[in-house]
Structure 1
C-alpha cells in the first residue's frame, strides 16, 4: 500500500521527520518496505525557453540551441531529440545535476561544440515512461523555476506492508487513525457538504438485491448534468502518488475516495443503463465486456451488477465497458456496496482479474461506513464536475452485523505483557483506538470495537492493541523463570519408538502414510460408522480419516508391485481416528501394522526363496509381543471378513481384542488390483496394549554351555492350533529354550484330516552340558505330551 505524506497530513498533524515516522509505523505493525522522496533527482533541473534554434554544424541529426533558464546568460546546449522547436518551453538539467542512474551533468563537447546542459524526457528524469522525446511544457510555465516545484513534487511516498487482517489500513484515513492513536492526536475527517436537489433518486431507478447471501448492503446516488473533463492538479497529484494515471475527474474521484477511505466504488453512465438495477448471479454463458476491453464468458454464477437487459459490472471487481464514463457523459449513477469477501476472492481467482477494488473487497470492508463514503464522493463530484445530487440515496441494507463485545481483565492483560499498566493507561490507549469502554467491575472492562476493526474479536486481540500502542520498546526485558528439571517423555512417543526399533531390528521396512484415505475404503474394508469425513478434502483420495492402517499398507503393497518390487515386508506405526460417543473430538488410538508379500529371504533349511506364509507373519507378531513383555495372550480363529477364513487369528488377553493377523481375503486382494500375490497383514492397537506391556529390560549373561538342536515332525489334527501346543510344551519341559515351526504340510502323503508339522527345538541347560541320556529323555517326554494331550504321532 502506497501512502502519500502530504495526503496523510490532511487527516492528522505530523511533526516527526521521515525516519521517525517510518519507525513509528513499523513499531505499530504497519511495516515500511520502502520510502520514495519525490523529486530527489530533480535538483538543478529547471524550466527553460529555446530562444535560438540551429542545426549542429558537424552532425545532421543534432540541434544547437540557446536556452534561457533565468541566468545572466543563456545556455548553449546540443540536443539529439526531434520534437522541439524555437520558443518551446522545456525541462533543462544544468551543470551539476545528478539524474537517475548516477548520471552527472557536466560541460562537455559534442562533435567539437560545447554543451552546457541537457534537455530531458520523462524517462531520463525518472518521473514517467515517455521516452519518445523531451518534455514540452505549456507556454505559461515560468522560466527558471525548479521543475519539481512546478510539478509540486515535494511529497514522500511510503510503501507499507499491510497484513491481511487490517484492511482498514489500506487507506490514508486508516493510517492516519493509527498515527493519531500512537501519538495521542486528533483525527481530522473530511468535511462533507451535500447540496441535494428536491427530486429523489427513487423516482428514477430502483435497486433489487436478488443474491442476499453475497451482497449485504448496496447504496446508490444519481448526480445529474456533470461535466466530464480533466481533473484539477491537486487531484491528479493524489492519483499519481498512488501509482495510477489520471483518467478524468469522475473516475479520478472514485479512485481518490477509495484510497482515502478504503472503499471501492463505481460510477455508471446513467443514460446507458437500461432500466432498474439488480444484484444477481450471472446467467450461464452470459457475456460481459469489462473495462479492460476483454470479453468474458461467465460460467460459475459470478455475482454481477445488472440492468434489466444485461450485466453491467462484475460486483466488487471491475466495471463493464457498456456503461463506462466517457467525455460526453452527463448523468452518473454512483454505487458503493458490501460484497462478501469469500465470493470476491473466488471470482477474482477464477477469472484471473486482480484490481484495487477486488484486493480490498476480498479482505472485508466497513459495511457501516458506506453512507459516509458515497456522500463524500458525491460532494466531490458536485464540487469538481458540477451537477446536482438527487436526494434520498438508495440504501438496501440486508443484514447488519452484530456488535462485538469483548471482556478484558486488566490483571490478565498485565500478566500477558509483563508490565503493570493502570486502568487509566489502558483506557486511554483503547479510547485513542476508537474502542468503546464500559466498566463493569474493578480492573475489568467490556469493550466494543469500531465497525472498521473486524479483526478485534477476543481479549487476545486487545492485548496486541495495547502492546503495540504502548510500545514494545517500553516493555523491559525479563529473563523468564524456568525449571531445569527434565521433562517426561510422552508415553505414545516412547512406545512408538520402541515398536519401530523392534520391527526394524526384525528386518521390516518402515513406511509413512497420510492419515487420509479414500471414501471407498470405508465400504471395501467394512470400517464401520464411526469414520470421520473431511468437510473440504484436498482430493477424493483424502476424503476420510483412517480408523485402520489396512488400506494404507495394502496400497503400499499394490503400488510397489506395479513397480516390479515384489518381495515386501513393511510396517507402520501411526494414529488412527474415529468418532467417539458423538463427541466433538476424535478418538485417537496408536496402532501398529505389518504387511508381507512375495518371497521371504533364504533360510538355513530352504536355500531357494519361499513365499511368505501365515507363520512368517506369526513369527514377527510373537517377536514383537515378546519384546514388549506381553506373554499371556490367546489366539482364536478370526471371523474378520477382511481376512481369509482359517488362515487368520484374533489375538486377545482375556476378552479384550488387541488385534488380528493373517492372510488378506482373496476377494479384497482382487478388488485392490493386487494380482497373483498373497498378502499377509497384522494390525494391533498399541493404546490397548499399553496396560499389558512390561518393557523393563532384564539382562543375563550368555550361557557358556552349548545348545542342542533337534528336529521333529509330527502329524496332528488339521484344525489343531499349533501355537497353543508349542506354548504348552515349552511350559512343561524346562530344558526347551526355543521352538521354531519351519514347515506345515497337508496333502497326499498325509492322512486325510491331518497335517504334518515340522519344528526345530533348541535345548540347553544353563548350568551344565547336556548328556545324551538327558537329551533322549527330553525328546521322549515331548513326544509323550504330544501323543497324550494332542493326539499327535511322530511322522514316519
Structure 2
C-alpha cells in the first residue's frame, strides 16, 4: 500500500528523523518500505509491503504507531476532536444483529440535510498525491477513513432504507446488485447488511447499488462494523471480489475501531457536505465476540524470559525492564506489574496476531532492532544425539552424489490426478492453495517428473536428480508419514556394448539403483511384474532387496510425456526410503592386494531369455573345481547381443561375452589350474541352459 509521510507526520509532530531515515528504520522493523517517491502534497510517498498478519499497520495511523514506538515520541490520539455530538436530538437508528456469530459489533449514525459534492481540503490533496480516485465527498470520506486508521466504513442513502438495519445471513438465491454494477446471487452462507425488506450490501465486501449515495442524496446513514474474518473471506472468494474492505476484514479487524471510525467519518462528512447529526451513535455489541477479540485474557510476561531469549546486545547492556515496558506500552499493550520483573499484559484490540509470551518477546526484539543484538550462539549443556538412521541417510546421499545425481526438493503438494496416478490416492488438504496442489504427495515421483520437465523446458537437456523427503498416506483422520526416495534422469546417456542407445538411459538408472542398494545387506534383484500406469509398458521393473520390494523404476509412459509436453525419454525411480533406513548397511572390508598376476578368460555363450544375470552371477560365485573362494576375483558381462531378425542369435535368446578374472594371493596360477577352472565355468554355464559359441 502507499503511505504519505506528510500524513504520518500529522500524527507525529515530534518525529526526530527525516523521511529517508524513517523508511530505513521502519524496514528494519518489518514494516517494509519498498520504494520512495516525491509526493505532490509534499514529503515522500512510500510504497510499502505489509505482511498479511499486520493488518493493524495497513494504514497511516498504524505505521505512525510503529514509528512512535521506535523513536519514543508522542503519538497524537486518533480520536482527538473526532467525537461528534448530536446537533439535533433524536432517537438512535434501529439496528438488529441476527447473525451474532458473524457480526460482533455494528455502529450507525444519521446525518440529515447534506449536500453531496466533490471533496476538498486535505482529502482532495492527499487523494491526488496517492492517485486515489475521487467519487463524491461522503464516499471519499469513507476511503479516507480506512487509509487513515484501517477501519472500513460505509455510507447509505438513508431514504433508501426501509425500517432499520438488520445484519443477517442471506437467503439462498437472494439477488443483490453491488456498487460495481454486477448482480450477485447470494448463498445462505453470505452475510449481508439489510433493511426490513431487502439486502443493502454484501457485508465487509461491497455496498449495494440501490442504497448508494448519489448527488441527489439528502440524508446519510454512516456505518462502521466488525465482521468475522472467515465469513468475509469465504464471501469474497465465492463471488470473485477483493476490495479494500474485504482485504482488511479477512485479516482480522480491530473490534474497538468501529465507533472511532464512525465518529471520524461522521465529522468529516459534516465538514465536507454540511448537514446535522441527528441522534446519538448507535453501538450494538455482541459480548461473546468482544471476549474473543478486544477483551482477551492478559498474558503473563517475565523480563527474565525476554533477556534469556534475546541474549546480549551490541552495547553489552542487554534489554532492560524499562525498555520492555516502554516498547510494549507504545504498541498499545497495557502493562500491570504482578511481581519483580513480571507483568500481566493486556493485548491491544488491533493486534490479534499476539497470543503468547513469545509473541511479546518477538515484538520487543523487532522494535529494538535485530541488528542491535550481538551475534552469540545459544548455550547448550546436553550432547548431540544422532538419529538411528543417520548412517543410512548419509550413505544414500553420498552414493547418489558420487554417481552424478544432484539433490533437489519438490513441492509437498500434488494434484488429485497425480496422487491417483503415482500413488493410488492421497490425503486431501482442507484448504488447498489451488487445484494443482490439493493433495499431500503419496510419492516423490510426480514431483520428480515435474522437476525434469522444468529443466527440459528451460533447455537443460541432460538431467540427473534425486530427492529424499516425506510422503503421506492414510486419511485426513490419521495421516501416516514415511520417507520416500526418487531418482530421475533424462538425456546424456551413452550407448555401450552392453545396450543400445535407446536403452542406455534405462540401464544407467538401473545401474545407479544397483550401486546404491549394494551398500545394504541383501541380494539386489528385479522383477518385471505388474507396474504402475505411469511406467511405459515393457520399460520398467520392480526393485527387490533381500527378496523384499523396495521400489519401482522405468520410463515415463507416452501419456505422461504428452501431458508434460516432453519430447525425450525420462526414467524415474520411486523407492521406499523408509525401508532403506531400516536396512542394515554392509561394512567395508579391506583386502590385501595380490603380488601375483591376474588371469583373464572370456567366454561367449548364448542363453535363453529366461536366464537372467542374477542366475549366472550366483552360479559362478559358487566354489567348485578346487577354487578357493577369493581366487575367482570377478565375473562381469562385456558385451550383450540380440538379433531382432533371429539370424545370428535365435529369437528368445541373447548372446553374452563374459569376462572372468582369476588371481591368488599366495602363488602364481598354473596353466593346469586355469584349464580346470575354465572347464568348470563352461560346465556351469552349460548347465544353466547356455550354448558356448566358438
TM-score normalized with structure 1 length: 0.63
Query: Partner of 1:190 in structure 2?
Result: 80
Does the 8 Å CA contact 1:710/1:760 hold for their aligned counterparts? Answer: yes
Q: 1:298 aligns with which of 175, 180, 184?
A: 184
Query: Partner of 1:735 in structure 2?
Result: 632
- 1:256-289 CA distances to partner (integer Å, 9 max, x unpaired)? 5444433222222211335554555598795636
How many residue pairs get aligned? The number is: 651
Larger Rg belongs to = 1
Superposed, 1:29-178 pairs within 5 Å as: 34=36, 159=46, 161=48, 163-164=50-51, 165-171=53-59, 173-175=61-63, 177-178=65-66
Q: 2:363 aligns with which of 442, 447, 465?
A: 465
Q: 1:699 to 1:250 in 2, by over 3 A?
A: same
| Alignment partners' CA distance in 1, 2:452 and 2:150 | 57
Query: Partner of 1:408 in structure 2?
Result: 301
Superposed, 1:650-689 pairs within 5 Å as: 651-653=544-546, 657=548, 659-660=550-551, 683-689=574-580
| Alignment partners' CA distance in 1, 2:370 and 2:421 | 58
Query: Partner of 1:591 in structure 2?
Result: 485
Query: Partner of 1:726 in structure 2?
Result: 617
- 1:290-331 CA distances to partner (integer Å, 9 max, x unpaired)? 3xxx53243686866455676654544554554343454332
Superposed, 1:592-607 pairs within 5 Å as: 592-593=486-487, 601-603=495-497
- 1:639-677 CA distances to partner (integer Å, 9 max, x unpaired)? 6664999x9665233x7x25256889xxx96876899x9
Q: 1:610 to 1:457 in 2, by over 3 A?
A: closer
| Alignment partners' CA distance in 2, 1:222 and 1:673 | 66
Query: Partner of 1:455 in structure 2?
Result: 353
Query: Partner of 1:713 in structure 2?
Result: 605
Q: 1:368 aligns with which of 231, 242, 256?
A: 256
Does the 8 Å CA contact 1:201/1:393 hold for their aligned counterparts? Answer: yes
Report the alpha carbon displacement of residue 778 of structure 1 after superposing the two structures with TM. 0.5
Query: Partner of 2:327 in structure 1?
Result: 429
Q: 1:500 aligns with which of 394, 400, 405?
A: 400
Aligned to 1:219, the other structure's residue is in SS state strand
Q: 1:271 to 1:745 in 2, by over 3 A?
A: same
Q: Are 2:416 and 1:519 equivalent residues in the alignment?
A: yes
Q: 1:742 to 1:160 in 2, by over 3 A?
A: closer
Query: Partner of 1:782 in structure 2?
Result: 681
Which stretch has the larger CA shift, 595-604 or 265-274? 595-604
| Alignment partners' CA distance in 2, 1:618 and 1:180 | 65
- 1:715-750 CA distances to partner (integer Å, 9 max, x unpaired)? 78x97766245324224143352143846999999x
- 1:597-631 CA distances to partner (integer Å, 9 max, x unpaired)? 99983517x8x7686899998666544444x3x46
Report the alpha carbon displacement of residue 702 of structure 1 after superposing the two structures with TM. 9.0
Query: Partner of 2:282 in structure 1?
Result: 393
| Alignment partners' CA distance in 1, 2:367 and 2:571 | 65
Aligned to 2:621, the other structure's residue is in SS state helix
Q: CA RMSD in A?
A: 5.9
Aligned to 2:395, the other structure's residue is in SS state helix
Superposed, 1:470-619 pairs within 5 Å as: 470=368, 475=372, 477=374, 494-501=394-401, 503-504=403-404, 516-524=413-421, 527=423, 531-537=426-432, 540=435, 542-549=437-444, 572-579=466-473, 587-593=481-487, 601-603=495-497
Does the 8 Å CA contact 1:614/1:680 hold for their aligned counterparts? Answer: yes
Q: 2:91 aligns with which of 200, 206, 211?
A: 200
- 1:748-783 CA distances to partner (integer Å, 9 max, x unpaired)? 99xxxx988855141332567655433321122235
Aligned to 2:332, the other structure's residue is in SS state coil
Which stretch has the larger CA shift, 689-698 or 19-28? 19-28
| Alignment partners' CA distance in 1, 2:503 and 2:136 | 83
Does the 8 Å CA contact 2:463/2:491 hold for their aligned counterparts? Answer: yes
Report the alpha carbon displacement of residue 24 of structure 1 after superposing the two structures with TM. 9.6
Does the 8 Å CA contact 2:553/2:574 hold for their aligned counterparts? Answer: no
| Alignment partners' CA distance in 2, 1:560 and 1:426 | 51
Q: 1:612 to 1:769 in 2, by over 3 A?
A: same
Query: Partner of 1:62 in structure 2?
Result: none
Query: Partner of 1:14 in structure 2?
Result: 14
Report the alpha carbon displacement of residue 366 of structure 1 after superposing the two structures with TM. 0.9
- 1:427-448 CA distances to partner (integer Å, 9 max, x unpaired)? 3433343312345555343422
Does the 8 Å CA contact 2:60/2:148 hold for their aligned counterparts? Answer: yes
Aligned to 2:182, the other structure's residue is in SS state strand
Does the 8 Å CA contact 2:554/2:572 hold for their aligned counterparts? Answer: yes
**Higher RCO structure, 1 or 2 (CA under 8 Å, sep 6+):** 2
TM-score normalized with structure 2 length: 0.70
Does the 8 Å CA contact 1:408/1:447 hold for their aligned counterparts? Answer: yes
Does the 8 Å CA contact 2:400/2:516 hold for their aligned counterparts? Answer: no
Query: Partner of 2:160 in structure 1?
Result: 272
Report the alpha carbon displacement of residue 174 of structure 1 after superposing the two structures with TM. 3.7
| Gapped regions of structure 1 (runs ≥ 5) | 38-125, 128-154
Q: 1:187 to 1:600 in 2, by over 3 A?
A: closer
| Alignment partners' CA distance in 2, 1:353 and 1:436 | 37
Aligned to 2:217, the other structure's residue is in SS state coil
Report the alpha carbon displacement of residue 451 of structure 1 after superposing the two structures with TM. 0.2
| Alignment partners' CA distance in 2, 1:6 and 1:678 | 61
| Gapped regions of structure 2 (runs ≥ 5) | none
Does the 8 Å CA contact 1:277/1:305 hold for their aligned counterparts? Answer: yes
Q: 1:584 to 1:442 in 2, by over 3 A?
A: farther
Report the alpha carbon displacement of residue 559 of structure 1 after superposing the two structures with TM. 12
| Alignment partners' CA distance in 1, 2:306 and 2:367 | 14
Q: 1:469 to 1:658 in 2, by over 3 A?
A: same
Q: 1:430 to 1:515 in 2, by over 3 A?
A: closer
Does the 8 Å CA contact 1:162/1:170 hold for their aligned counterparts? Answer: no
Aligned to 1:367, the other structure's residue is in SS state coil
Which stretch has the larger CA shift, 609-618 or 26-35? 609-618
Does the 8 Å CA contact 1:200/1:392 hold for their aligned counterparts? Answer: no
| Alignment partners' CA distance in 1, 2:101 and 2:619 | 76
Q: 1:224 aligns with which of 102, 112, 115?
A: 112
Q: 1:414 to 1:762 in 2, by over 3 A?
A: same
